[in-house]
Amino acid sequence: MEKNRDKSVLVTGALRGIGRAVSLRLAAEGYRVVLNYRGDGEDRANELKSEIERLGGAAGIIKFDVADKDECSRALGEYLKSNQVFWGIVLNAGICRDGLFPVMSQADWTSVVDTNLNGFYNVLRPVVMPMCKKREGRIVVISSVSGLIGNKGQVNYSASKAGLIGAAKALALEVASRSITVNAIAPGVIETDMTESLDKTIADMIPLKRFGKSEEVAALTAFLLSEEAGYITREVISINGGLH
Ligand SMILES: NC(=O)c1ccc[n+]([C@@H]2O[C@H](COP(=O)([O-])OP(=O)(O)OC[C@H]3O[C@@H](n4cnc5c(N)ncnc54)[C@H](OP(=O)(O)O)[C@@H]3O)[C@@H](O)[C@H]2O)c1
């Protein structure tokens, strides 16, 4: 869509699962998508960039680990020196390290909180001020139903995802006067690598009797980034097949 050509959107954890679907969807809607990856994902990032370009879209690439504050600040600071301010940020990168709390290692607690919750600070802190100066924009945070209801075996993950909701709602208040919206999406069980090892009979507990698709989360994300969603802020929108 021509109307989005001048808007760039950063998607963290863009190479797999929901992040990949969001990136492809936003590119199809005409946004310039800036694909974040970490570690040795360079080849896969280039492949996704080429795929988007083959489909007629535009993409850039940015490497940082969302759990590493200094790396985020360096990479995003460099990026903003020579590129336009982001219209949108999709904070998607996340991990789970499930296990019952009484035997949960500190490493499993810390890595999940560092990625899912501290990632909010690490990624948004360098980019929010420029967005405020531009006085427009959209921030979409991928939380989880686990953050709303708590989930057995996911005390670390539920804590991080609930924290994200609080952070998003508070930030929404701070930036509302700059016409920036901040919303959270709380997916239920979505078919990705993250849920690959789950017992498929879990679907029987979901009213719609199936796992969700990344493309369905991408469609909701695209809506929240759109001009049409400009009066929606400080909300948590769940996409869960009736599971909550
Ligand atoms: N799938 C579900 O049922 C579900 C439900 C609710 C919420 N969510 C949330 O949705 C988001 C995406 O999940 P998914 O199911 O698409 O998971 P996924 O298939 O495991 O993909 C996660 C993506 O995040 C990236 N990532 C992880 N840690 C990162 C870090 N420190 N820095 C940069 N990138 C990082 C991964 O990169 P690598 O390839 O380098 O690992 C990967 O691209 C997560 O926040 C997850 O918590 C998922």
166-196, pLDDT tens digit by residue? 999 999 999 999 999 999 999 999 999 999 9
pLDDT at site 2: 76
State in Å: Cα 96 to ligand 1 middle.
8
- Report the 10 Å Cβ neighbour count for 5: 11
Could you say which DSSP state residue 114 is in? I
Q: Which one of 31, 37, 157, 231 is the catalytic residue?
A: 157
Q: Are 79 and 127 in contact (CB under 8 A)?
A: no
Closest CA to 108 of 77, 153, 145, 75: 153
From ligand 1's centre to the CA of 95, what distance in Å?
5
Tell me, what's the pLDDT at 145? 98
Cα(240)–Cα(217) distance, rounded to whole angstroms? Answer: 10
The whole-number average pLDDT for the span 52-73 is 98
- Select the CATH number that applies to the domain covering 2-239 from these four: 3.40.50.11740, 3.40.50.620, 3.40.50.720, 3.40.50.10480: 3.40.50.720
Check residue 166 and give its pLDDT: 98
Can you tell me whether residue 13 is helix, strand or coil? Answer: coil
- Nearest atom within ligand 1 for CA of residue 44: 39
CA of 148 to the centre of ligand 1 (A): 18
Active site residue 157: yes
Average pLDDT over residues 134-139: 98
